[in-house]
Structure 1
Amino acid sequence: MQQVIMLLILCLLATALAWGLSREWHLVSQLFVDKGWLEQPISPYPYWGLVVLFILIGWWESDALSAVISLIFAFGLYQLAYFDAKTGFLPDRWTQALLWAALLVNTQSWFTSADQAILGAVIGYGFLYLLNSLYMALRHRPGLGGGDMKLLAALGALFGWIALPYLLFIASVLGLVFVVIRRFLTKDTGTSIAFGPFLAGAGIVWLWPLF
């Protein structure tokens, strides 16, 4: 009986989260259109499929609170990955929300200690900033967007600075696999790709064992 009640609570939470993210998606998408960054609003991805995932993991996870917190971050990372893949943008309001949420939960050492989280945010942003500055000096054009730096800062705040090299490695592998598959299927070698979806994907991969 207790498990059934918990599943109902998870279902309501997941539904509310999906509804809220969907509204936020429409709001930001329209804002980008109004600023001239997009030609037309983009339909959101199927949030309701993630509700099923939310409930299934809640069924398997004995600590329901851990499942809820982890899945909230998974929802947020997935939204960032999808939006960046479709538009080439990582909205500041989403990366900053992820960053502050990560720092907040880690005041209770949920994923890492508070000092590790703060260092992770600083080092994550600083590393990509320096890397992009070096690329700019050599190639006279940016190699990364500011959203990528803020996303890595958020991931550093979530998992701590020690996780950053592993996250970058996973993101690079995911990106390489994507490029190889795309080249094999389309013979396309000249189009640049957004790095944000692979950073977000690395975060989800790192988050998965914590469910």
Structure 2
Amino acid sequence: MDILFVIILGALWGSFANVCIFRLPNEGNVVSGRSFCPKCKQKIVWYDNIPIISYIILKGKCRNCDYRIAFQYLVVEILSLISFTLIYYLFGISLTTLFFWILFLSFLIIFFIDLKHYIIPNVITFPLMALGFLKSFDPNLSYLFPNYVNSLIGGALGYGIIFSIIYFYKQIRKKEGMGLGDAKLFAVIGFWFGWISIPFIVFLSSLIALVSVIPSLINKSKQMSSEIPFGPYIIIATVIFIFFKESFTNFLL
């Protein structure tokens, strides 16, 4: 029964994540006003807004005007459902589970906003920094979380490294490279997982980004100077770090 509740909860919060992904870049209010069709502007009735199920029944279209609803909506809700369920399976009913639910839901929102709009909203990163540091004062949480000293150093290191890269790149090339949103996201990761996470995630996210753009460079649809959203690569690398932290830290230390 508990697992069924978690599955439903994950899908519902995935639906909320979709609202944030749609409204935050446009500075919309995410907690007021019913969802509506982007084309015909008709408000969506509750039975057409059931996570995952409604999308499948309506075949990804608006009931009123047959406007094609982005497949991303279904993907976000499924990913949220899976992450909520997996986290609950690993950590049970605990504060660690609650913290990871908040983090992964925030990661989902950041991932898809940055992927489309090339921005990482401060309204998400700043609270995550604060929460990441505050939770470090509780010694009874998962071994994945650092103590408050490690957390504070991690947050400063995460922001400092990326800010330094941005600054020196701008001095040398006379143009912007990465954005400060990426620096803030690395600060979030440092506060949540400590300084030891930063070198691994900087390296791995850069490697994943490079591998992903090589085909575009080969077919010349992108150039080395082309803008790419780096947030999704940071998030992918962070998830890998979380799953393999013990192996990584044993190797490093």
TM range (shorter): 0.7 to 0.9
- Please state which structure has a larger fraction of its residues in helix: 1
* Residues 150 and 194 in structure 2, CA contact (< 8 A), matched pair in contact too: yes
* Residues 70 and 207 in structure 1, CA contact (< 8 A), matched pair in contact too: no
Offset, 1:173: 1.2
Offset, 1:58: 5.1
In structure 2, C-alpha distance between the alignment counterparts of 1:156 and 1:27, rounded to whole Å: 28
* Residues 124 and 153 in structure 1, CA contact (< 8 A), matched pair in contact too: yes
Show the counterpart of 1:37. none
* Residues 76 and 108 in structure 2, CA contact (< 8 A), matched pair in contact too: no
Show the counterpart of 1:194. 229
In structure 1, C-alpha distance between the alignment counterparts of 2:195 and 2:83, rounded to whole Å: 28
Instruction: State yes or no: 1:165 paired with 2:199.
Output: yes
Show the counterpart of 1:31. 27
When normalised by structure 2's length, the TM-score is 0.68
In structure 2, C-alpha distance between the alignment counterparts of 1:58 and 1:197, rounded to whole Å: 20
1:208 pairs with one of 240, 243, 248? 243
Instruction: State yes or no: 1:148 paired with 2:144.
Output: no
Distance 1:97 1:55, change over 3 A: closer
* Residues 81 and 201 in structure 1, CA contact (< 8 A), matched pair in contact too: no
* Residues 10 and 68 in structure 1, CA contact (< 8 A), matched pair in contact too: no
3-state SS, counterpart of residue 175 of structure 2: coil
Show the counterpart of 2:6. 10
Letter in 1 for 2:25: S
Give the share of equivalent positions with the same residue, in percent: 22
* Residues 155 and 187 in structure 2, CA contact (< 8 A), matched pair in contact too: yes
2:90 pairs with one of 58, 61, 69? 61
2:81 pairs with one of 33, 36, 52? 52
In structure 2, C-alpha distance between the alignment counterparts of 1:147 and 1:202, rounded to whole Å: 16
Q: How many residues align?
A: 198
* Residues 118 and 229 in structure 2, CA contact (< 8 A), matched pair in contact too: yes
Distance 1:132 1:29, change over 3 A: closer
2:129 pairs with one of 85, 93, 99? 99
* Residues 77 and 201 in structure 1, CA contact (< 8 A), matched pair in contact too: no
In structure 2, C-alpha distance between the alignment counterparts of 1:13 and 1:100, rounded to whole Å: 25
Letter in 2 for 1:156: G
Structure 1 unaligned residues grouped into runs of 5+ = 33-39
When normalised by structure 1's length, the TM-score is 0.80
Letter in 2 for 1:133: Y
Distance 1:100 1:59, change over 3 A: closer
The structure with the larger Rg is 2
In the TM superposition, what are the counterparts of 1:116-131 in structure 2 within 5 Å?
116-131=150-165
Distance 1:64 1:206, change over 3 A: farther
Structure 2 unaligned residues grouped into runs of 5+ = 29-37, 40-68, 246-253
In structure 1, C-alpha distance between the alignment counterparts of 2:181 and 2:150, rounded to whole Å: 22
Q: Deviations over 1:58-87 (max 9, x none)?
A: 574253434443243122113212211111
- Pairwise CA RMSD of aligned residues? 2.7
In structure 2, C-alpha distance between the alignment counterparts of 1:25 and 1:189, rounded to whole Å: 26
Q: Deviations over 1:95-139 (max 9, x none)?
A: 112222222322224311111111111111111112211111111
1:73 pairs with one of 75, 99, 103? 103
